Structure 1
Amino acid sequence: MRRRLINSTLAVVLVVIAVFGLSLVIVETRTIENSAQESVSSDAVRLVSIVDSRLLGGEGVTPKVLREQIEPGRYAVIRMPDHRTVEIGKRPAGSVISAEEPGEQGEVVRVEASRSTVSREIGRTMLIILAVALLAVLAAVALAVRQAHRLSAPLTDLAETAERLGSGDPRPRHRRYGVPELDRVADVLDASAERIARMLTAERRLAADASHQLRTPLTALSMRLEEITLTDDPETVKEEATIALGQVERLTDVVQRLLTNSRDPRSGSAVAFDLDEVVKQQIEEWRPASRSEGRAIVRSGKKGLRAVGTPGAVAQVLATLIENSLMHGDGTVALRTRVTGNQAVVEVSDEGPGVSPDLGARVFERTVSGRNSTGLGLAVARDLAEADGGRLELLQQHPPVFALFLSREAEDPSVS
């Protein structure tokens, strides 16, 4: 491309120089020739005037008297009325420029000049024009090289940016070139890079969230299946299988919820549901795990609460809080339900050391963990809660008390 730009620029400059240079040569040649002709004619007129005045005064006409009246190197011949001829200078050889003027006393004056002088003048003029044209070509080459570099370098840079974007490096470069069209392309590439970066971040976040959040229901499901394999009682098998099917449904709901949140965190499908059922289901689901560690899960507080949200998401939030209490806490895990204003609250606490003071509210940030864990659980739980219009907060650091706030179902005013 750079070579094409240089060649096209030079072609335009050469055409312009050829057209205007040829016109200038023609004009200058005619101007020099006309000037030389006028100079010769002027000498002839001047000689005729002097000869007329001397003939009227009865003075003689000699070459010595008239030699100073013409330009050096020119030849003049005067034919007198008495047929006498007076010559001034040496007659030039070759082509000449001449002018002839008749006098009032019957004399005729003819002045000649060698055309070689005119040719030399025309040659000098053409050399000057050629030198100027050469300088113009050199300037055009320099300008073309500079302009080609100015245009080709940004295009090369944009090509490298596009290649880097296609190879999986979505970092925008925010580089501009002072050319509106190229800057527009750079804007589009940077915007595409930012969109791709957001998409990749969302995909990686979804993968991390899914791997973390699916671990809990899969663990609970595997425990149920183990219970089935260890018993021969058909009733127990049926009961455990029913619970396992419920866990599979919640697992499906968790996957759907994660996919929904990855596209739009606010696109929840909140409905009114019985909060007691979700709390009871989580206690039953985690009781085997707590017993295996010699701990207990208890429930207290107000019953009969109906909240607005997604039951599967609420169950997943509570599962995350219970799992954290079993993994990082100590003693009894307590779930307490209460009402504050128009919100239903589920508090999850244990008797462990709680959250260290240096973490505080940062415990909900991704990759922040007080122990050797991923630091994703509470962050995803908060996202799930906020997607339903609720919120998850740390009410107390020691002993730890986490609270899930949910909107309550509006009461029917017609019911007394």
Structure 2
Amino acid sequence: MRRRAIQMILTAVAVVALLMGVPGAFMGSAMVWNSEQRSLDARALSLLRAVDRRVTEGQAIPQSVVEAWAVPLASDQPVAWTRVAAPGEQDGAGAVIVAGDDVDRPKMTSVQSSALGTTVRMEVSAWPAIRKSATVVAMFGGGMLVSLIVGWALANRLSRRLSAPLIYLAAQAEQIGSGQVRARVRPSGIEEIDLVQDELARTGERMAGRLAAERQFAADASHQLRTPLTALSMRLEEIEMISTEEEVRQEARRSLEQVERMTQVVTELLDANARAGGQTAAIHILEVLNALREEWEAPFERAGRDLVFTDEAAVPVLADEAKLIQVLATLIENALRYGAGVTRVVARRSSNKRGVMIEVSDEGPGIEDDLAPDIFQYGVSGHGSTGIGLALAHDLMQGMGGRLELTQRRPPVFTVSLAAIPASLDPDRVMPEGPLVSMGRRSRRF
């Protein structure tokens, strides 16, 4: 905006300077030329009167008189070549008197005649008049240049006064967008900008009220949801401890893991900041696949379908293990509910060897063409569900710095892209060995 304001003001100043300066320079130089011409005419006319006076008195016209008038009175005037023709020259009875040296071009000429028949012709060099005219033009040009410099200085100052309030206003909007809803800046003195700033301040106040209400709701909902989940966790732990049947203890352990994951999901749903900025670490994909296999093998067996896990990458990745399990669990659950045939979860290296892609696919009918572009939008579902699962999974992947994409519609293939960890930074070799505390299932490899 500053550059545009400076350009507009300088354009206006330049137009005014040209409209006023060019005609002024032309008129000034013309006035100087006319002044020099009038001065030469006055000299010639004065000499003509002196000659007529002597002719009237019957006196002769001496050479000295003509030479005296050829020499100027002022030092800045040039010496004139003068020719005086006395009356009767046409009959051969008159006299012609010439004084001064011939003048080269360019020159100024003045011819004066009287009723007595006397003619005076004066010629002077035009260079002094040209120099004076050039000086006038240069003065006008300098004035135009000074006007442009002053206009640039004023435009620069005015542009700062106009742009600074807008910069402050943008900073206030950025502060409100970053969560500082009560950010304020001083008034600018420009009515339109102050109106926008006041409205922005009122918007920030309304946002502050809404955020306070949402935080209160999140706190209440978190308390109301965590209390029964905590009681359920304690009950499942008690069942696991007092039961003597291994199958019951195993089911209780799995249920306890589901409750813990549900508690974490509830926490993330109620905390948008935690959902957007996850804590990533170097993890093994095999650990994640083991957890998913233990959780989903039984449901797939009851449905008479196969669930196949394959780790072709064999490298650690940078991710949040709990959130990655939640994302893959959402895709596996959708494959179980809406897909068909064999469901495959395959982890492989990307083409550039810098990332890992985990593909979840089944042999079902896939995603409809009109639904595919909006499949990760909240509330979008092709089977009458809430449409939250895939949208939440997409947000969780973005929070980890990864991507969740629908790479194939029929049969459906969802791809999770993560950054791979170089082998030199393998967490099993970089981290020092220490005591291992297990609270729940033990990791196993297959």
TM-score with structure 2 length normalisation?
0.45
Larger Rg: 1
TM-score with structure 1 length normalisation?
0.48
